[in-house]
Structure formats: C-alpha cells, structure tokens
Amino acid sequence: MKRTTSAAWPSLAACGSLLAVAAAGAAAWLMVQPHHALGQQRATLALVRLPGHVSSFARPEYDVGEAAAALPMSGLQLVLARTPAQQQALNKLIVDQQDPHSPQYHRWLTSGEFGARFGASAATLAALSGWLRSEGLSVGRVPAGRDYLPFFGTREQVEAALHTRIHEFSIRGAQHYSNISDPSVPASFAAVIATVGGLNDFLYERRPYWADAVIVRHRGGDAVLYPAYGDRV
C-alpha cells in the first residue's frame, strides 16, 4: 500500500531555495545582517504554538485513532525563517536578476552561495539540531541552501518534542497519518522556525497541474519546470 505525504512546506522550502538559486552574482552583492543569533542558547521551557499546521484532510470522519507509537516519521523539516534584512535583500535580488539594466541581471547563485547569504547561521543550525537530538530525534544532512533542517523519528518522539498528537486516517481505502493539533516549539526558537513540514503524509497523492507550473532557471541556463500541486487525496 502506498503511503502519501503532505507537508506542502518541504516543497515550499525547496522552491524558496530554487528561486534564490536564480539570483545575482558576486558583483555588487547586497550586504545583509547575520541570521537570528541563537549561539549555543538552550531551549527555554516556555512554548509557542505554531498555527495552521493541521491538514484539511485530518477530518473526524476519517480518523481511526492514535497512530502506533513506533510509527516511523521521515521527511520532517524545520523550515527556517529569514531575518527581515535577509528577506529584503532576497526580494531585491529576485527583482534585479530580471532587470536588464541591473548589474545583477541573470547572475545566478549556487545553492551554497544562497545559503551563505540568505540561509540560517551555523550557530542557529547547531542550536536547533541540539534541541532535536535532546528529544531523541535524528537530524539529517543540512542542505546547501540552509533554509530548512531535516529530521526524523517515531510518532512517540515527534509528539513529545512538538507537543502535538498524531492519528491514523483512512481515506478512500488508503491509510494515512496526520497531526490533529498544531505543534508547539520552545519560545527561544519561535522566531527562527517558520513552519514544521512533514507532520502528515497526504502529499504524494496530490495531482500536478502543469498549467500552473513554475519555471526556475539555474546557473548554466537550464530551465526546469516544477508542477504546482492541488489539494487532492
């Protein structure tokens, strides 16, 4: 039986990186402020709820109860927020790369260059990784764009770390899992976590609508077509 995954956020994170890859080159780079300075700060006991994380498919009529404690949950991501200065610089960069009169016109960034300018700092990534590991979760390889942090674990570990509840759902004969409440994170990390991706597995059964696809150009001139996905199960 195929499992499907939702978390539109991984794709949002990937698209954010890809759009930024099509950014200006070394000449006249904008200076931006460093990412949120967490340093080696430890997570505080106070929690902040992150709203908007419950899928519209996690309906009571499909709910078959709490998921197994050992249910493996992969593909989880902390999607990281940019500082206001980083976001302002990125917005200008995207505009300038499309302006024939700008010295940044069609000067693309690699993923690594994007991460260095617009991604999370090493200190932020270390602090978040330390928190996740302290909750028994495993942390994956940090992408070059440094705009999200992958992690994975069991249902029981995810529920304990994010203070949410994960249930099983049966929809049209297919089994799924999803959180039924919004996650909460330590208050000291709330400013750097934009969203948590991967808390349900509805995404893979979405159907691509190529008419709404987005074209992203990479360094070297190649154009890649990415489909826009609709909310179908």
Contacting residues for 100 by C-beta, under 8 A, at least 6 apart? none
pTM of the full predicted structure?
0.71
CB distance 105 to 97 below 8 Å:
yes
Helix axes 84-96, 111-118, angle to 10 degrees: 140
For residue 40, tell me if it sits in a domain. Answer: no
For residue 1, tell me if it sits in a domain. Answer: no
> What domain range includes position 57?
8-26+46-229
- Among left, alpha and beta (phi > 0; psi -120 to 50; other), residue 65 is left
Residue 215, beta-bridge partner list: 225
The pLDDT, as a whole number, for residue 35 is 53
For residue 180, tell me if it sits in a domain. Answer: yes
CB distance 144 to 60 below 8 Å:
no
- Which residue from 151, 13, 8, 35 is spatially nearest to 79, judged by alpha carbons? 13
For residue 183, tell me if it sits in a domain. Answer: yes
CB distance 169 to 57 below 8 Å:
yes
Cα separation of 18 and 108, whole Å? 11
The pLDDT, as a whole number, for residue 191 is 95
Residue type for position 224 = V
For residue 39, tell me if it sits in a domain. Answer: no
Cα separation of 118 and 13, whole Å? 13
The pLDDT, as a whole number, for residue 24 is 35
The pLDDT, as a whole number, for residue 88 is 96
For residue 35, tell me if it sits in a domain. Answer: no
The pLDDT, as a whole number, for residue 29 is 30
Cα separation of 57 and 165, whole Å? 15
Enter the tokens of residue 27: 């000449």
Local structure of 156: helix, strand or coil: helix
For residue 34, tell me if it sits in a domain. Answer: no
- Averages of pLDDT over runs of 10 residues in the chain (233 residues) are 43 43 34 46 76 95 97 96 95 94 93 94 97 98 96 98 98 94 97 96 56 45 44 49
Number of domains in the chain: 1
Cα separation of 179 and 158, whole Å? 10
- The sign of the CA dihedral 200, 204, 206, 211 is positive
Say how far residue 29 (Cα) sits from the centre of its chain: 26
For residue 112, tell me if it sits in a domain. Answer: yes
